[in-house]
Amino acid sequence: MSKRLLVAGAGTMGTQIALQAALQGVDVWLVDPSDVAIERSRDEVLRLTARRVEKGRLTGHEQAEVLDRLCYSSQLEEAATTSDWAIEAVVERLEVKREVFSQLDRSLPAHAGIATNSSSIVSSQLAGDTRRPDRCLNMHFFHPVTVMDVCEIVAGPHTSDATIAEAEEWARALARTPVLVRKEIDGFVVNRILGAASREAFFLADHGYADPEVIDLAVRSGLGWPMGPFQLADLSGLDVVLDIRRARFERLHDPLDESSIRLLEQQVSQGRLGRKSGHGFYDY
């Protein structure tokens, strides 16, 4: 695919989506208003591509080509004018995402679609801030994007069939398998199934039935999962998981989310954000 992708948000997910695109030969803008976030993203991309060189999965020349395809900017409007598709990957806060969608709509070419990577905020909450609701939907990638194959394509009632087809094409261009979710529903497919198990795990820990590491051991040994719910939360980032659980509780008032929020707030308030900070439910 010769078209240019824009990824808004240079955090963990945005960086991974942009890197996956560059690895597949796609030219990509990675945009963030924070210079600190951009520098952190550059360092992470360099680290991840260097590891691939060390393991023989990339040559030095191929690494240089990947780095050349990934362009950084703090100016969303400027980058959007030369892009053909945009994926928003900013924090899981509705007001922030709405503003980004509005900015993208003002600056992107008329043909460009806008996707949110959100796993908890559906595009029908964002499309109204644009003049192209038929070109809006969710493209939910999984962390780490450079490893996890699936991409959930979630259509809203406003999304056109042409936009769905183009989103599936973009997912394949990033070498990810598109899974179409035909109607919006909280958690989509994977996270509804995973989230149900995770909320039960947090409930058990919060009420003292078993410690997090014991629950993880039981899930790995008894269910054959590669990692337990608390290990997965550490990998995803406890601050990110906390935002998602808070947003879900505000929508659904599920008491199981209260256990998750309590345990996550304890960790986050101490700066224990999981793997990215070196400490979470586990120490790394």
Inter-CA distances, 275 with 39, 204, 238, 272, 280, Å? 19, 23, 9, 9, 7
- DSSP label of 86: E
Contacts of 179 (CB under 8 A, 6+ apart): 150, 151, 152, 153, 189
| Residue 46, both tokens | 């360099």
Q: What is the pLDDT of residue 227?
A: 96
Same domain, residue pair 213 and 168: no
Check which CATH number belongs to the domain holding 267 and give it.
Answer: 1.10.1040.10
Whether residue 165 is contained in a domain is answered as yes
State pTM to two decimals: 0.84
Same domain, residue pair 52 and 125: yes
Catalytic center residues: 119, 140, 152, 191
Inter-CA distances, 174 with 72, 99, 115, 128, 197, Å? 19, 26, 14, 28, 29
Contacts of 37 (CB under 8 A, 6+ apart): 10, 11
Q: What is the pLDDT of residue 1?
A: 58
Same domain, residue pair 205 and 175: no
Q: What is the pLDDT of residue 122?
A: 97
Check which CATH number belongs to the domain holding 52 and give it.
Answer: 3.40.50.720
Q: What distance in Å separates the CA atoms of residue 26 and residue 23, rounded to the nearest whole number? A: 7
**How confident is the prediction along the chain (284 residues), in pLDDT tens digits per residue?**
569 999 999 999 999 999 999 999 999 999 999 999 999 999 999 999 999 999 999 999 999 999 999 999 999 999 999 999 999 999 989 999 999 999 999 999 999 999 999 988 999 999 999 999 999 999 999 999 999 999 999 999 999 999 999 999 999 999 999 999 999 998 899 989 999 999 999 999 999 999 999 999 999 999 999 999 999 999 999 999 999 899 889 988 999 999 999 999 999 999 999 999 999 999 99
Q: Are 138 and 116 in contact (CB under 8 A)?
A: yes
Same domain, residue pair 164 and 196: no
Q: Are 83 and 112 in contact (CB under 8 A)?
A: yes
| Residue 38, both tokens | 């951009």
Which domain does 259 fall in, by range?
190-273
| Sheet arrangement for strand 113-116 | 70-73, 27-31, 4-8, 85-88, 113-116, 136-141, 150-154, 177-181
End position of a domain, from candidates 116, 148, 181: 181
Apex 191 CA angle, 273 and 208, nearest 5: 55
Same domain, residue pair 56 and 148: yes
Same domain, residue pair 76 and 138: yes
Q: What is the pLDDT of residue 166?
A: 98
